[in-house]
Amino acid sequence: MGVVVAFVAAFVVALVATPVARRLSFALDVVDRPGPLKVQRRPVAYLGGMAVFVALAATLAPNHPAWLLPLGLAAALGLADDVRSISPRVRLLMQVSIGGVAGAIEPAPGRFGAAATVVLVVVLVNAVNLIDGMDGLAASVVVVCALGFALVGGDPSVPALALCGALVGFLVFNKPTASIYLGDSGSYLLGTALALLAASALGLGSQSHDLAAWIALPLFVALPVADTVIAIVRRYRAGRPLFAGDRSHVYDQLADRGWSIVRILFVCAGLQSAATAAGLFAWHLGVAGAAAVVAACVAAVVLAVWKIGFVAERAVA
């Protein structure tokens, strides 16, 4: 399946499957209700991730059928977490198990490639989950991340464009004001998909290129990872549990400054686009060049975060 066909097919399937998932959400009472850490004022359908999975399944089955196993397991774990909250310890154990399946199917290059894929799955599942707190945010950012892996070329191109198409179709209904959310089923699915794309992309280079690609890789998923790091630092400085939920993420703090949701989405997608472009540039450099690009990006982010005050704890209203 060509990349254009993969994008269009996934887009069309998501466009059809998402309203079905929305109706099913309300029929089964799988909805996200207003609460202390919620921004919506009414129940919102919570099965968006399943619609994205259906779109991916329809497009990946011909060329990457094995990928559907870890993707399906991730969506199922998220759905179980949506329906009945799973304890952090059990959730982490299940994420590691899903990472093990992903590592067996798509190991990153190197002696410990399978273990590296496990780490990628666990990190990215939780990173995407943390940015999924605003209409359209996680889906928009992951579209940009996936596009970066598509532009690397080679084997990741088809699944990356399929993921882009599925999410663009889903965003028709998830854009502000969203009528359906990804839910944990969607965020876990997207994190696992990014991990598989990363492992596949890392396997494209020659042995001498491997290290440069590894150095450049964080830029392809910069915004989710950066928000996760900022959340950990903020909670540590405040003496709060590192895994406790809050409404002090970067996008929350921008909203507190009076930014509209649409403006936040454009800025976040723009920042990830800039990071992805830098990642693509660094990907094709040597080790020293890639390290210099990443170091410059990290320094810029650290300076901006510290000056703006994103690591300061914000009281929940």
Burial class (CB in 10 A: 0-12, 13-18, 19+), 238: middle
The overall average pLDDT reported for the chain is 89
pLDDT tens profile 158-215: 999 999 999 999 999 999 989 999 999 999 999 999 999 999 999 875 444 578 899 9
Q: Is the pLDDT of residue 137 over 90?
A: yes
| 186 compared with 30, residue with greater pLDDT | 186
pLDDT band with cut points at 50, 70 and 90 for residue 246: low
Q: How far is CA 41 from CA 221, 253, 315, in A?
A: 31, 19, 20
- For the chain, the C-alpha Rg in angstroms (whole number) is 18
Of 130, 126, 132, 146, nearest to 265 by C-alpha is 132
H-helix segments, the chain: 3-28, 48-60, 68-83, 88-105, 113-131, 137-152, 157-174, 183-202, 210-220, 222-238, 250-256, 261-283, 287-308
**194-198, 259-263, 264-268, 312-316: range with lowest mean pLDDT:** 312-316
Question: Would you state the pLDDT for residue 206?
Answer: 47
Contacts of 140 (CB under 8 A, 6+ apart): 167, 171, 265, 268, 269
| Per-residue pLDDT at 38 | 60
State the pLDDT at residue 241.
66
How far apart, in Å, are the Cα atoms of 53 and each of 167, 174, 219? 10, 15, 25
Domain definitions of the chain by residue range: 3-308
Percent of the chain with pLDDT over 90: 66
Can the peptide bond before residue 177 be classed as cis, meaning omega within 30 degrees of 0? yes
* pLDDT value at 316 more than 50: no
Span 234-239, mean pLDDT? 74
Per-residue b or e along 274-304, where b marks 16 or more CB atoms closer than 10 Å to that residue's CB: bbbebbbebbebeeeebbebbeebeeebeee
User: How does pLDDT run across 40-89, given as a tens digit for each residue?
Assistant: 668 899 999 999 999 999 999 998 999 999 999 999 999 999 888 888 89
Distance CA 272, CA 305 (A): 15
